[in-house]
Amino acid sequence: MGIFDRIRGEFIDIIEWTDDSRDTIVWRFPRYENEIKMGAKLTVRESQAAVFVNEGQVADSFTPGMYTLKTQNMPILSTLKGWKYGFDSPFKAEVYFVSTRQFTELKWGTQNPVIVRDREFGMVRLRAFGAFAMRVVDPPALLRELAGTDPQFRTEEVAEYLRQLIVGRLGTALATAGVPMLDLATQQGTIGNALAAALSKELAPVGLAIPTFVIENISLPPEVEAAIDRRSQMGIVGNLDQYTQFQTAQAIEAAARNQGGAGEGLGIGLGMALGQRAAGATGGTGPTGGQQQYGQPPAAPQPQSQPPAPSAGPPGSPPPLPTAEQWFVGVNGQQLGPFDRTQLAARVAGGDVRHDTLVWKAGMAQWTPAGQVAEVAPLLASVPPPLPPQS
């Protein structure tokens, strides 16, 4: 800096800030040795505040407007300087301009899942992300608590602190909202408003507020999304037994149109499967060989050996269709079934079959909890185990 620049800058008579950035929160007015001429003009624009600091202590704060700096309109600084009689000489003070507009280009997101408890799905891990706006509501407090003597305090210096604060409050907000997981999308605005109010209250001592908080997305773990998809498919299909019979009838019709021995054999096999399924749906013969009545709890079926393998047909004919697994389920003392593997999976998704539900099929020695059967356990991967007994 040259001698003439020092002389020109030694006594400042115009103090103002034209912000040409989008991320500066606090900007310190630069000048040589902080000499301000008594009677200098101070211009504070809309969305700004000017704070005077004298010897490390926050003095006067000015809202938007144009001011002529005199002892009359600087009461705190005049008291600190001891200008009892209107002393009219230049004075030294630091001037900080604080932007009070909303800073809207701030993002947040959960690096790790937030665990919440849901009435329908139990404990669920959630991830979420969105945006928020920040505003300075108390410039002196911001200087004392966060900015300090930083000549240019930017949003990047406080963004990580705000993100950690938001993630720390997100789990509490979701848990206290009492909104089921399936209804979160419709309540994101309400939850965001509640979070904005809670964060503004907590940030008040440092001079900040969160006027807007937006939740763009709340995502569930893949296994929970898969369970929801299965439940949606069941709702669309409706009665699974009727749907299966309809699909089988269509397959028989398609096989009948196929000329030749292969089509005829396939039609016969599918017709037998349809008859067995219809018999099971109307309370047909169970594994004990007796007539099943669903209104009364039958005795547990005795294990029986697998049926003998069908003999091969004449040369040139297709091999016989494989026999599907037939599962029986014990619910509240009642024997239900038989079900093939697809129907059993539907019972699991519907909540009828859980880890402690008894199941049986031909070849098993006795009724066994589903969670201990190797063929059924994979179907229960998304079903929580039973709660431990109360002490």
Neighbours of 211 (CB within 10 A): 13
Q: What is the pLDDT of residue 34?
A: 64
- pLDDT exceeds 80 at position 293: no
Residues 258, 308: Cα–Cα separation, whole Å: 30
In this structure, whether the domain defined by 293-302+322-383 belongs to CATH 1.10.860 is answered with no
- The predicted-structure confidence for 210-250, as pLDDT tens digits, reads as follows 999 999 888 877 877 777 777 777 666 666 676 677 777 77
Domain regions of the chain by residue span: 3-99, 103-220, 222-282, 293-302+322-383
Structure tokens at 84: 């009892």
Displacement of CA 10 from its chain's centroid (Å): 57
- pLDDT exceeds 50 at position 8: no
Q: Looking at the domain 103-220, which fold is it?
A: Tetrahydropterin Synthase; Chain A (3.30.479)
pTM of the model: 0.55
Q: Rounded mean pLDDT of 269-277? A: 55
Q: What is the pLDDT of residue 292?
A: 43
- The predicted-structure confidence for 334-364, as pLDDT tens digits, reads as follows 888 898 888 888 888 888 888 889 999 988 8
- pLDDT exceeds 60 at position 184: yes
Specify the higher pLDDT residue, 148 or 292: 148
Q: Is 166 within 8 Å of 198 (Cβ atoms)?
A: no
Structure tokens at 279: 């018999």
**Residue 27, beta-bridge partner list:** 97, 152
Q: What is the DSSP string of 11-63?
A: SEEEE------SSEEEEEPP-GGGEEEEEEEEEE-TTEEEEEEETTEEEEEE-
Residues 254, 267: Cα–Cα separation, whole Å: 8
